[in-house]
Chain A
Amino acid sequence: MQLLTSSIGRKILMAITGQAMVLFAVIHLLGNSSIFGWLPGGINAYAHHLHSMPAPVIIGFRLGLLLFACVHIWFGIQLTIENRGGRPQQYAVKSVQKASFASENMIWTGSLLVAFIIYHLLHFTFQVISPETAAVKNMVDLHGANVPNVLGMVVAAFQNLFVTLIYAGAMLVLFLHLSHGIQSFFQTLGWSNDRVQPFITKAGTLVALALFLGYAAVPLTILLRILN
C-alpha cells in the first residue's frame, strides 16, 4: 500500500500519529491541572474517575496510544536513515537559511522523549521507581471511597530537585519537538498555503509553549512549595 511505502505516504503517517499524540498531551495536561483544585477532590478524584472506566476502554486506549507511538517511532527512524543518505557528503561550509535547531534535531528530541516516557510510565503509571510513595500502596479516603493517593505520590516526587529537573527538562524537549512538529502536520496534510503558513507556524509554537508551561507548572509549583 502506497501509504506505508511512499515518501509522502509515510510523511502523512508520521504527521497523523504525531498529531494524535499531541491531542493526547493536551487531554493529559487538562487532567493534570486538576491538581490545582478546580475539580472537587483534586487529582485523586480525577485518577479514580479514569480508573473506574470499563477495562476494555482503558486497555483499548493504552494499546491505541502504543500503536501510534510505535508507528511514529518506526517511520521516524526509517525516514531519518533514508534522509541521511540523501546527501552523503556534507558541505565544507554549513549555511542555514530557514531550518531551525528543532527541525534539524527531531530524531534526537524524539529519542529523549521516548526515554522520558519510559521513565514516566515506570514512575507514575507502574509506580516501581519510588515504591514507598506509590499511590496504590497509600490509599486515602475520598467521599467515603478508598482511592490511591496520587496527590501524595506526585508531591513526594517533585519535592526532589533532581526529579523536578528531569520532568521540566523533558518538557523543554517536548516544546522543541512540537514547535516543529505541529506546523509540519498542517504542511504535510496539505492544509497550508503561503497566506496561512506563517500563522500556522506561530500558532504551532504557541501551542507547544503552552504545553511546556502547563506541564512544567506542576513540578515547579510543588518544588517551590506553592502547591503542597
Chain B
Amino acid sequence: MSDHKTMTLTLIVWRQKNASDAGKFETYTAKNITEHHSFLEMLDCVNEDLIYAGKDPIVFDHDCREGICGMCSQVVNGAPHGGQDRTTVCQLHMRKFKDGDTIYIEPWRARAFPIIRDLIVDRSALDKIIQAGGYTSCHTGGVADGNAILIPKPVADEAMDAAECVGCGACVAGCPNGSAMLFTGAKVSQLAILPQGQGEAARRVMNMTNTMTECGFGNCTNHYECMAACPKGINVKFIARMNREFLKAQFA
C-alpha cells in the first residue's frame, strides 16, 4: 500500500440539519485517498477527520456496501450514484477520480423525498407505492409441486429483469420531474408478467400509479434519465408495459 500515490480532493457537500433547515453547501478536503478506496470509504476518512476535529460528521445512508441493497443514495457531480453504468455509489471507486478533483455531493432531490439530514432522504413514499398493490393476495396454500405452474424461461427472465429493482430511488433522483415511473413500472411489471400476478393486474396498476401521484412524484415525460441513473439497469420498456397495463385496466 505504501507505494500507492494518494489523492487530495475537494468535496462540496450538502449539509442540512433536518427537514425544516434550509441547508447549504460546505467545503471539505479529503486527504490520503488511494484509488482503492470506495466512494463511501473516502467519506468515512473525511468523517474520521471531522470527528477528531470535534465537528459533526457527514450523515449518509449505507448498508451492504456490496452494490446489492440500494441503501446508499448520493448524487455525485449531478449524477445519481455517480453516473458509472450499473453501479451504486458504494461500488464507485476513487480510481474514477484524479488528484485535485472537486466533487459535488448532494442528496436525492425530489418533492416526494424530504431530506432527513445531510445526504439522507426519506424514501418511504416508495414503500407506500408498494403497499398500494405491489404484491399478490392470492392464497398460496401448501408448498406447490415444482413446475405446477408452467412459466417459459424467457418470461421468467423478463419478470426477473423487472424484479432486479432494489428501490434505491435513483430513478426519481435522476428524473427532472421527480417521477417514480421507472420504479412503479418495474414493480407493476414483475407481477403482471407472471400468471400469479395477472389476476390483480388491473387493480394493482391503478392503485400504485394513483398512490405515486398522491405521494408527490411528478409525471413521466420520456426523458429516460431514470434508466441512465438506475444501478440495476432497469429498462424503460417496463414503463411502456405499465402504460399498456393502465390502458388494459380501463377495459377491465
Contact = CB atoms under 8 A, between A and B. Distances in A.
Contact of A6 (B112, B210, B236): B210
A98 B227 contact: yes
A3 B251 CA distance: 12
B228 to A, nearest CB: 3
Nearest to B23: A89
Given A10-B219, A11-B219, A87-B176, A189 B247 contact: yes
Interface string A62-106: 000000000000000001001101111111111111111001101
B154 to A, nearest CB: 13
Contacts of B224: 98-99
Interface stretch (A123-131, A150-158, A180-188, A217-225): A180-188
Interface in A159-195: 180, 183-184, 186-194
Per DSSP, chain B at the interface is mixed
A93 B104 contact: yes
Contacts of B98: none
Contacts of B179: 7, 83, 86
A83 B176 CA distance: 8
A92 B104 contact: yes
A86 B217 contact: yes
Contacts of A103: 221-223
B234 to A, nearest CB: 11
Contacts of A52: none
Interface residues of B, number: 51
Given A2-B250, A6-B210, A197 B236 contact: yes
Contacts of B12: 92
Contacts of A186: 240
Contacts of B168: none
A92 B105 CA distance: 9
B136 interface: no
